[in-house]
Amino acid sequence: MTAEANDLVDAALHKAVSEVGLDVEYVRSRGNTMWARGRDGSEIPVTDFMGGYGSLIFGHNSPEIVAHAQWLLGRDIPVHAQVSLRPEANEVAVELNRIIHREFDTDESYFAIFANSGAEAVEVAVKHAELDRVVRLGELRASIDERLESALAAVDSGNATVATSVYAALGLSGPSSLTAVIARVRELNESRLAKPPCLITMEGGFHGKLLGSIQLTHNAQFRGPFTALAAQPRFVPFNEPDALRPVFEAERTTAFDLEVSGGVIGVVEREVPVFCALLAEPVQGEGGIVPLKADFAKELQALGAEFSCPIVVDEVQSGVGRSGAFFASSLVDLRGDYYVLAKSLGGGLAKMSVSLVRESRYRPDFELVHSSTFAKDGFSTGIALKVLELLEAGDGAAYRAAAERGARLVEALGAVRDEYGDVINDVRGVGLLIGLEFGDLSASGSEVVRTTQPVGLFGFLASGFLLHEHAIRIMPTGSAPNTLRLEPSIGLTDDEIDRLAAGLRHLCSLLRAGDDQRLTAFLGARRF
């Protein structure tokens, strides 16, 4: 391929990753192994700990899923059959509901809205939540108007009088006609009922990079250029329960209403449905692999119910078995009004996602105002059915494997941390979603480290070293580049874990010694 052709796609990205040796071409993949094209034309096996950013719970090109894909295509399955019955999609929804009922001990149904990516599914959930809010707002407007008319009719018929407390409550200087009172109610309510929707999301959170989802992503580098294009959320500290209520209290809004009781018209305040949604990840992925704590989940649940704010649980990266359960949120008893799934649901072959909407909040009219050409096609939903079958087989053997393999990996990484506590700050995660965080190396004897860590490039340099020196593919998280992210498949072997640990020990020994020459030698002697 010519240099000119390479420049037509991701040219800036390729230039940046080439500086740390990550501009590698992969030609084959299977399980946790990818084969890189060597400079001599050979194929060099590389152990992949990135796992497609969490998309490969069964590894690259799982034989069972590949065979099923070939079977689907071989029977000429209708991929494009829009505006028709889609039984495969319904089967996926039924199976997901069965899992929800088991993991959250509920019998309430969730409706499925299919999409093509995690970011799109997040936007679907928020879009539906906003439709629900707008409908509830319209119902409130209508009910207030109805009661205002009832109050007027009661006074006109001589069956009611206005309580003197009404005038002060509405800021009127003294007794006025009911017509003036009603005009004042409508004047005060105008701005309150027109208040923009409140979206609440987490500091450190990541929900995608589309127009709406990027506003919900905390990283200012990703979000900053586009803040003028969509509603701005309230960001709250993650895992700090005491920080939540003040945000809700500050945003809550009431509207004035009149109520006739015992022949007296009084003023009451009604809660305005100003809260569109609250979004949270059970494990913050791009934010540094930070699990959501049980006490924070409990407070989220309580405040969501108190303020009628729907909770969108973003399981794009943590869901579909990676945590040791299908839903990572089930491990901390966080029940969502919406669940968002993607990545591994497509088995590493299909691009698909789904938003699940709690029956008590579902608005059937959403189906008339939202659609997608490629969503819920026969191929992707057929693949998802196979993924769910494999996950549930053997009474959930895949979930147990994710938990056991994750524990074994954390144990091995923890041993490296114990040996190099001056280099590695923390090892954390859930199941096979694990982060290894480097400490503050500003006092390191390595000039390379001292210059790359403050600008967020050290994690990429470490990844380049592990790739070229130990044939290990790994990458830092997007919003916490000091943390390496590990998301291998459930087929992870002890040998693969041990080779990662050996590579990390080698890296840490050079960092401790401040040996820049050996730390960067791979840049001048690349195999691929």
Predicted local distance difference test score (pLDDT) of residue 461: 96
Q: What is the mean pLDDT of residues 39-50?
A: 96
Q: What are phi and psi of 170, to 5 degrees?
A: -95, 0
What are the residue ranges of helices labelled H in 75-117? 87-104
Query: What confidence score (pLDDT) does residue 69 get?
Result: 98
φ and ψ at residue 449, rounded to 5 degrees: -65, -45
- Tell me the H-state helices in 110-214: 118-156, 165-169, 178-193
Stretch 134-147: mean pLDDT, rounded? 97
E strand or H helix at 27: strand 26-30
CA distance 384 to 89: 9
Contacts of 103 (CB under 8 A, 6+ apart): 325, 326, 327, 330
In angstroms, the first-to-last Cα distance of the chain is: 15
Residue 318 located in a structural domain = yes
pLDDT per residue as tens digits for the range 283-321: 999 999 999 999 999 999 999 999 999 999 999 999 999
Average pLDDT, the chain: 96
For 369-403, letters b (16+ CB in 10 Å) and e give eeeeebbbbbbbbbbbbbbbebbbeeebebbebbb
Query: What's the mean pLDDT in 259-282?
Result: 97
Does 442 have pLDDT greater than 60? yes
* CB of 73 closer than 8 Å to CB of 399: no
Residue 4's pLDDT is: 53
Tell me if 467 is assigned to some domain: no
Q: How many CA atoms lie within 13 A of 270 on its CB side?
A: 23
Rg (CA), the chain: 27
DSSP 355-386: EEEEGGG--TTHHHH---SSTT-HHHHHHHHH
Does residue 461 form part of some domain?
no
Total number of domains in the chain: 1
The answer to whether 368 and 76 are in contact (CB under 8 A) is no
Residue 266: inside a domain? yes
Q: Compute the distance between CA of residue 471 and CA of residue 240 in angstroms, rounded to an integer.
A: 39
Query: Looking at the predicted structure, is the pLDDT value of residue 492 above 60?
Result: yes
Check residue 2 and give its pLDDT: 47
Range from 14-18, 283-287, 425-429, 447-451 carrying the lowest mean pLDDT:
14-18
Q: What are the DSSP calls for 415-441, one per residue?
A: HHHHHTTTTEEEEEEETTEEEEEE---
63 burial (CB, 10 Å; 0-12 / 13-18 / 19+) is exposed
| Residue 496 within any structural domain of the chain | no
Per mean pLDDT, which range of 4-8, 93-97, 480-484, 500-504 is the poorest?
4-8
What phi and psi, each to the nearest 5 degrees, are found at residue 96?
-65, -35
CB 243 within 8 A of CB 249: no
How large a percentage of the chain has pLDDT more than 90?
Answer: 93
Domain membership of residue 7 (yes or no) is no
- Structural domain range at position 250: 87-386
- How many whole angstroms separate alpha carbon 267 and alpha carbon 270? 10
Beta carbons within 10 angstroms of residue 131's beta carbon:
16
C-alpha–C-alpha distance, residues 493 and 491, integer Å: 6
Q: What is the DSSP letter of 243?
A: G
pLDDT in tens, 389-429: 999 999 999 999 999 999 999 999 999 999 999 999 999 99
CA distance 391 to 402: 10
Domain assignment of residue 434, yes or no? no
Distance CA 126, CA 128 (A): 5
Q: Is residue 417 part of a domain?
A: no
Residue 7 has what pLDDT?
78
- Cα–Cα distance between 411 and 398 in angstroms, integer? 20
CATH of the domain at 181: 3.40.640.10
At 337, which amino acid appears? D
Per the CB < 8 A criterion, the answer to whether 431 and 330 are in contact is: no
User: pLDDT tens across 352-397, in order?
Assistant: 999 999 999 999 999 999 999 999 999 999 999 999 999 999 999 9
For residue range 186-210, list pLDDT tens digits in order.
999 999 999 999 999 999 999 999 9
CA 282 – CA 290 distance, rounded (Å): 8
- The pLDDT tens digits of the residues spanning 221-246 come to 999 999 999 889 999 999 999 999 99
